[in-house]
């Protein structure tokens, strides 16, 4: 029991430290060489067909797609009367979107390609969309991590649980790598997004667990 709790503490703390490290190095522009090496390495085997495929995959992490999936998922949770999970979902995803926006505005890192504005359902908000950390990656990690959490808690059959979790992790990887391949982000933007997303997920999860413990004490 203690070892399991230690893992739940060690993992997010490690991710937070990595995020801080990446952020500091990015702020000092000391990750340009590593970013370039990764981008050049990927470019050696990327074909136009792969780029087209990644342009489609990257839309999975768009704000519009994540909002729609979050809404549909919340309806399912509402139908199942899983109230705590609904709160968890919205704090996790909407809080993650706000966190991503604040980090982007705070760092104001230029994108590898042309700068663009934030768009919602095709409408430009006339707000500059900065590069660090990747919004698509953060949104994907948070939503799919929540689905992984649901799978671990509510699915009993090991084969189905394993298949779903593997598929969700694969989707996270594909969305993340697609942002680099289509030239929307630097690799360090992706690593930063993954580490801060995991940290935020565990922070929200801890908040839900503490709430449940307080309620049990009053029963």
Query: Tens of pLDDT along 137-168?
Result: 999 999 999 999 999 999 888 999 999 999 99
| 104/20 Cα distance (integer angstroms) | 14
User: How is residue 184 written in tokens?
Assistant: 């929307």
Q: What is residue 219's predicted lDDT score, i.e. its pLDDT? A: 39
Q: 128 forms bridges with which residues in the sheet? A: 117
User: How is residue 56 written in tokens?
Assistant: 């489609």
Q: What is residue 216's predicted lDDT score, i.e. its pLDDT? A: 42
Q: What is residue 2's predicted lDDT score, i.e. its pLDDT? A: 52
Asked if 204 contacts 91 with a C-beta cutoff of 8 angstroms, the reply is yes
| Integer angstrom CA distances of residue 180 from 69, 112, 176, 190 | 24, 9, 7, 8
| 139/100 Cα distance (integer angstroms) | 9
Q: How many domains does the chain have?
A: 1
Low-confidence stretches of the chain (pLDDT beneath 50): 121-124, 213, 215-219
Confidence (pTM): 0.87
| 74/22 Cα distance (integer angstroms) | 33
Q: What is residue 43's predicted lDDT score, i.e. its pLDDT? A: 83
Asked if 105 contacts 99 with a C-beta cutoff of 8 angstroms, the reply is no
Burial 171-206 (b: 16+ CB within 10 A, else e): bbebbbbbbbbbebbbbbbbbbbbbbbbbbbbebbe
Q: What is residue 211's predicted lDDT score, i.e. its pLDDT? A: 66
Q: What is residue 63's predicted lDDT score, i.e. its pLDDT? A: 83
> Containing domain of residue 60, as a range?
2-217
Tally Cβ neighbours within 10 Å of residue 12. Answer: 19
Asked if 132 contacts 109 with a C-beta cutoff of 8 angstroms, the reply is yes
């Amino acid at each position: 029991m203690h070892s399991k709790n230690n893992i739940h503490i060690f993992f997010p703390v490690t991710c937070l430290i990595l995020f801080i490290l990446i952020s500091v190095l990015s702020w000092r522009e000391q990750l340009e060489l590593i970013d370039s090496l990764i981008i050049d390495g990927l470019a050696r085997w990327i074909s136009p067909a792969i780029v087209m495929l990644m342009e489609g995959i990257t839309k999975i992490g768009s704000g519009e797609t994540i909002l729609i999936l979050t809404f549909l998922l919340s309806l399912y949770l509402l139908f199942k009367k899983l109230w705590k999970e609904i709160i968890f979902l919205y704090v996790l995803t909407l809080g993650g979107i706000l966190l991503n926006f604040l980090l982007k505005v705070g760092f104001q890192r230029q994108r590898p390609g042309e700068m663009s504005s934030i768009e919602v359902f095709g409408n430009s908000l006339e707000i500059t969309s900065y590069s660090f950390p990747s919004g698509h990656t953060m949104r994907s990690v948070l939503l799919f991590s929540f689905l992984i959490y649901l799978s671990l808690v509510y699915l009993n059959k090991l084969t189905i649980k394993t298949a779903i979790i593997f598929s969700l992790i694969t989707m996270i990887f594909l969305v993340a790598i697609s942002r680099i391949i289509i030239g929307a982000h630097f690799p360090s933007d992706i690593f930063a997004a993954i580490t801060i997303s995991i940290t935020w997920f565990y922070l929200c999860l801890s908040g839900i667990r503490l709430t449940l413990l307080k309620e049990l004490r009053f029963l």
